[in-house]
A and B are shown apart, each in its own frame.
Chain A
Amino acid sequence: MIAKLRANYMLVNVLSKILLALAYVFASWKTFAGLMTMMLGSAAWPTILLGCSFSGAVMVVLAHFLPKLYLKFAKIYMVPHSEFSLLATLAFAMYYLMVGLLNLILLAVPTFLVWADALFPIVSALVCWLVFYSVTGKLYFNDVTKPYYFATISIAVIALAVLGGVV
């Protein structure tokens, strides 16, 4: 199954984007429900899912272009952009899946919200950053080029986290 998937770039590409959109919906439905309640006074599931899906689609586009933007700004030319972008999409999907899964804890313990809001995103982001770095570092970089890659990808991730937090 995995071998078949790895042999079919187009299928993996499409599936990873769908996975990211679904993971985004899974992680952020609660926030959207709150926003809808705030703006409309009530929140119905179709409206929530519509809002989430739209944002998920925007996220897919961002996840496609941001890695390419990073490679361009970091002046890394030896890495295949599309493949790197695909791996980044999978990393984003993994992040949102983790956040969504951790958020399920809140259903059982709603009062854990304060700690959840502060810790879940940062812990998930750290894990995904490490996984993404180790995979791409092994695939595309050697010992001489790795320090530069590590420094630039770290700065990019921190910038993204700060921007994401502010937005």
Chain B
Amino acid sequence: MKNTFWALIVAICLAAAVVLVPATASASNSILANEYHQMLSDFLTNCPNRVSGTSDMLDVADYLWGKFNEVGINTVRFQNVGDSQYDKNVIASIYAEKEKTIVIGAHYDTVEAEGANDNACGVVTLLQIAKRLVEQKHKLNFNVKLVAFAGEELGLLGSAYYVSQLTQNQRDNLALMINIDAVAAGDNLYVYCENKSTPLLNELLTQGQNQPVKLHSKPFSAGVYAFVDKWGYGYWEMAQNSDHTPFRLAGIPTALFFSGNYKGMFYGYVESSNVQNWTMNSAGDTLQSLQQNAPNFADKMATVAQMVCNLLTDESSVVAIEGAREHLTAGIVYNNDYASIAAFVVALIAIVGAVIYYKKLKKQAFVGVAEVKTPEVFTSPDVNDVFKF
């Protein structure tokens, strides 16, 4: 009887745990989602116009400066993008006294639209990451630079300028660039590390299994490789054309977080299976649209923030991050230089062979020892060998 009583108590406790724990987690997710939602709404209200090359960009840069200060980062600076009067990269640094640095970026400009998905959600995620990294500064395995880029919509101007201003030493010490672009509206959340399986990608995917939104690796899309860049990656491939590209071209490994929907290997990319969500670079890219058509958008932002923070604070990620550069530039399969050298060698062998053959032909012609197919030279060819038309 006593045993039955205790068994009953244990069963009740277990049942309570099963019911309450998910409810608590769900409540926690909900609070987090509300926080992201609130921040996004606040950003869109305070910075409604974010078109590069307009004076509004100055106000947005000031707003971001204030937000970085608010979360406790005092080392914030502006970087004018080239000769532009209005476009400024906003760079917030968290110095963790480490040798290597990681850049986390999101562009804050948009086209003539609200730009909730592209890329207000990226900026808000960046600010959330900033807040959490400051709280976990003692656990950071890398120095961190959080960069809100300007001029992305005009052709990656801000990120390209940022990379161009890095010294060789700074480039060598840059372990990774993480780019967050349009992570809210798509059906799936993807991470993209130079289109191949690397320890870094595997690390991210492993960590991404337990997040509110599952993280996917961007599938190969063989069809869209029309051009390849220096490191052998499809330059104009879908999901390639964002602020991480100038970094990768400088030999710095990158990881891009974005949302969308890949349906197949060949050109099967759409923003979403819901046509209402096809809002990229259009007037339809609004917070209202996200609320109506992508109800879990805040969860996606929270997942990205969580993933990035884990990556930077988890000891197990250090090896994968530090090895990423080796995978980017040194692999014989991917590095264009090796293939070009091989092609050059083939061409050289062919030319040398041709020269040797030409000398042999000349000798035969001069000595006249070779078999002559027809008895007469400079006449029509052997009738058996030509087409009979």
Chain B residues near A123 (CB-CB < 8 A): 346
Interface pick from A34-42, A54-62, A65-73, A92-100: A34-42
* CB of B281, distance to nearest CB on chain A (Å): 9
Chain A residues near B220 (CB-CB < 8 A): 110-111
Interface residues of chain A: helix, strand, loop or mixed (majority): helix
* CB of B4, distance to nearest CB on chain A (Å): 63
The answer on a CB contact under 8 Å between B334 and A83 is no
Using A110-B225, A143-B368 as known contacts, say yes or no to A37 and B343 having CB atoms under 8 A apart: no
The answer on a CB contact under 8 Å between A34 and B236 is yes
A119 lies within 8 A of chain B by Cβ: yes
Complex: A24 Cα to B235 Cα, angstroms:
23
Using A37-B267, A144-B377 as known contacts, say yes or no to A110 and B222 having CB atoms under 8 A apart: yes
The answer on a CB contact under 8 Å between B346 and A119 is yes
B379 to A, closest residue via Cβ: A78
The answer on a CB contact under 8 Å between B227 and A34 is yes
The answer on a CB contact under 8 Å between A115 and B342 is yes
Residues of A within 8 A of B (CB): 6-9, 12, 30-31, 33-35, 37-38, 42-43, 78, 83, 86, 106-107, 110-115, 117-119, 122-123, 126, 138-140, 142-147, 150-151, 154, 158
* CB of A32, distance to nearest CB on chain B (Å): 8
- How many B residues touch A, CB cutoff 8 Å? 51
The answer on a CB contact under 8 Å between A83 and B339 is no
A13 to B, closest residue via Cβ: B389
B16 lies within 8 A of chain A by Cβ: no
Show 20 residue pairs from A and B whose CB-CB distance is below 8 angstroms, ordered by the A residue.
A6-B387, A12-B389, A33-B226, A34-B236, A38-B236, A111-B333, A113-B232, A114-B228, A114-B232, A117-B228, A118-B339, A122-B343, A122-B347, A142-B378, A143-B365, A143-B368, A144-B365, A147-B362, A150-B357, A154-B354
The answer on a CB contact under 8 Å between A7 and B224 is no
The answer on a CB contact under 8 Å between B358 and A150 is yes
Chain B residues near A43 (CB-CB < 8 A): 223-224, 267
B382 to A, closest residue via Cβ: A139
Chain B positions 187-205 with a Cβ under 8 Å from a chain A Cβ: 195-196
The answer on a CB contact under 8 Å between B372 and A118 is no
The answer on a CB contact under 8 Å between A30 and B372 is no
Complex: A114 Cα to B341 Cα, angstroms:
12
Interface residues of chain B: helix, strand, loop or mixed (majority): loop
* CB of B382, distance to nearest CB on chain A (Å): 8
A126 to B, closest residue via Cβ: B350
The answer on a CB contact under 8 Å between B225 and A7 is no
Complex: A140 Cα to B382 Cα, angstroms:
8
The answer on a CB contact under 8 Å between B357 and A37 is no
B238 lies within 8 A of chain A by Cβ: yes
B263-301 Cβ-contact flags toward A at 8 Å (1 or 0): 000110000000000000000000000000000000000
B356-387 Cβ-contact flags toward A at 8 Å (1 or 0): 01100110110010101110011011100111
Among A138, A139, A147, A150, the one with the most B-chain Cβ atoms within 10 Å of its Cβ is A147
* CB of A36, distance to nearest CB on chain B (Å): 9
B388 lies within 8 A of chain A by Cβ: yes
* CB of B194, distance to nearest CB on chain A (Å): 10
Residues of B within 8 A of A (CB): 195-196, 220, 222-228, 232, 234, 236-238, 266-267, 333-336, 339-340, 342-343, 346-347, 350-351, 354, 357-358, 361-362, 364-365, 368, 370, 372-374, 377-378, 380-382, 385-389
Complex: A30 Cα to B226 Cα, angstroms:
7
Cβ-defined partner of A117 (8 Å) among B339, B347, B370: B339
The answer on a CB contact under 8 Å between A143 and B364 is yes
A10 to B, closest residue via Cβ: B389
Complex: A31 Cα to B343 Cα, angstroms:
20
**Lowest 3 A-B CB distances belong to which pairs?**
A34-B226, A9-B389, A114-B232
Using A122-B343, A122-B346 as known contacts, say yes or no to A142 and B374 having CB atoms under 8 A apart: yes
* CB of B43, distance to nearest CB on chain A (Å): 27
The answer on a CB contact under 8 Å between B365 and A139 is no
Using A143-B365, A143-B372, A147-B358 as known contacts, say yes or no to A35 and B226 having CB atoms under 8 A apart: yes
B334 to A, closest residue via Cβ: A114
* CB of A120, distance to nearest CB on chain B (Å): 10
Complex: A99 Cα to B108 Cα, angstroms:
44
Chain B residues near A33 (CB-CB < 8 A): 223-224, 226, 266-267
A31 to B, closest residue via Cβ: B226
Complex: A6 Cα to B357 Cα, angstroms:
31
Complex: A126 Cα to B195 Cα, angstroms:
32
Complex: A77 Cα to B232 Cα, angstroms:
46
Complex: A119 Cα to B350 Cα, angstroms:
13
Chain B residues near A113 (CB-CB < 8 A): 225, 228, 232, 234
